[in-house]
Structure 1
């Protein structure tokens, strides 16, 4: 009888190209001595991970896998052995109802971290589009955004709908390509250091910037704002844009139509 082996977690081979951007991430998050020890072992096993962002999500002992941990390494979610040497890329599922337990846990954790971090956001890192005059605010959303992102532009086109419904939109900078001074980083720097940041956001997201902002946002102070936004996103667990945090609680990793988010907040 033919035996079929199903890889429950994911691919077991990590391609070299997966690690090309690890040098731009910094920091680690661990909450127990065992977690800190795991992070140390991962770094010791491969010097390329010396400055990588390593977040230990949890030990999988409650599911019968005491020697396995869910982690995020440089933006990549995976399950790793307790010696920090072997890993499976992918998520952990409950096959009885096809529930993605990894995604559920990540979403809960991201919401918790966002709730702790966002009250500390400074005005210089936040670009706010307020509700319409005479409209009572029902809540707000924080959006990690990138002007080169298609769905970020789609969300921006819905700002009038948010304003009319009473939802304030706070933008936070998050260059998807990281801190390598790519087009997304450059545009965000220009937006955040423009004389009129709201107009600059409109111009870049509606493809109307042209050469209007040439030379804007090239100072170290401008770059620092974007770097801080990126590091904040990394701490929260952002891996793509838009990434939405609701004032009513919870996060949305990706685009949702404005009407759905508004309904959720009412």
Structure 2
């Protein structure tokens, strides 16, 4: 099976799609079928993925009709993984060229229905955590336009969904984004970003362009990465990205620009109507 790395997807999306389509069509036209359920294999693959990517919430692994190819769910996100080489994730649609059937679409629609119309995993903590309670000095602050709408994001620079989220956030105007770097997949890169001379620019270039030229390896630099990890644990943040809105509610996982706009506007209205809780600690 031809797969594509995150780097290839971000730099050459058309080529990646073409390679994926060719590989899947070849397998499907050959009439390869899974034949029977492989519960033990699914369990082993799920365990292996959770061990390799502790910052990602893998919820289910299911065998597909393509031999060796598994459907992997991460909350509302779906990818395809080869059991022989689970290092690579393929994001896209699985299409049966014999029956001319979109295999992925109905699966997504079913998840959409099961979650009440929300593909992303929304979780509301027992006690909302307004952004003004967070230690904002430990976050990278990015302001666009008036900055009147506010969101805090727990993000890992090694997280593929965080890299998908950043271009969406970059297209939002009149917003202030507080990014808390968390080391769910290793602390070296979060520290190198924080210790950069211009950490906001270093973060942006790494997440949007995979450009590490501004990153500064730790050389006695004071950084909040350990504190951020402790904060994430205390708030029940189990994966990245996790977004905390101005009204204290949160969203776990990647969301698109339209959802970002809607949630920012909704949370801003609610937060404006509430008295400030500044001075309190989470």
> Structure 1 length normalisation: TM-score?
0.50
Contact kept in structure 2, 1:173 and 1:188, CA below 8 Å: yes
Number of equivalences: 158
Determine the structure 1 residue equivalent to 2:21: none
3-state DSSP class of the match of 1:109? coil
Poorly superposed stretches of 4+, deviation over 6 Å: 17-20, 97-100
Contact kept in structure 2, 1:107 and 1:251, CA below 8 Å: yes
Determine the structure 2 residue equivalent to 1:141: 151
Change beyond 3 A, Cα 1:254–1:18: closer
* Cα displacement (A) at 1:254: 0.7
Change beyond 3 A, Cα 1:114–1:198: same
* Cα displacement (A) at 1:171: 0.2
* Cα displacement (A) at 1:247: 0.4
**1:101-146 Cα distance to aligned partner (Å, 9 max, x none):** xxxxx93326x2533x8524041x11111122xx462x21100011
> Structure 2 length normalisation: TM-score?
0.48
**1:142-191 Cα distance to aligned partner (Å, 9 max, x none):** 000111111211221123322x2x222110011113xxxx3xx1111011
Change beyond 3 A, Cα 1:149–1:118: farther
Determine the structure 2 residue equivalent to 1:259: 258
Aligned counterparts, 1:70-109, within 5 A: 107-109=123-125
3-state DSSP class of the match of 1:114? coil
Determine the structure 1 residue equivalent to 2:129: 114
Structure 1 stretches of 5 or more lacking a match?
1-10, 23-96, 101-105
Aligned counterparts, 1:44-193, within 5 A: 107-109=123-125, 112=127, 114-115=129-130, 119-123=133-137, 125-132=138-145, 135=146, 137=148, 139-162=149-172, 164=173, 166-177=174-185, 182=186, 185-193=187-195
Structure 2 stretches of 5 or more lacking a match?
1-42, 55-112, 117-121, 266-282
CA distance in 1 between counterparts of 2:212 and 2:147 reads: 33
Determine the structure 2 residue equivalent to 1:247: 246
* Cα displacement (A) at 1:261: 1.9
Q: Please give the root-mean-square deviation of Cα atoms over the aligned residues, in Å.
A: 3.5
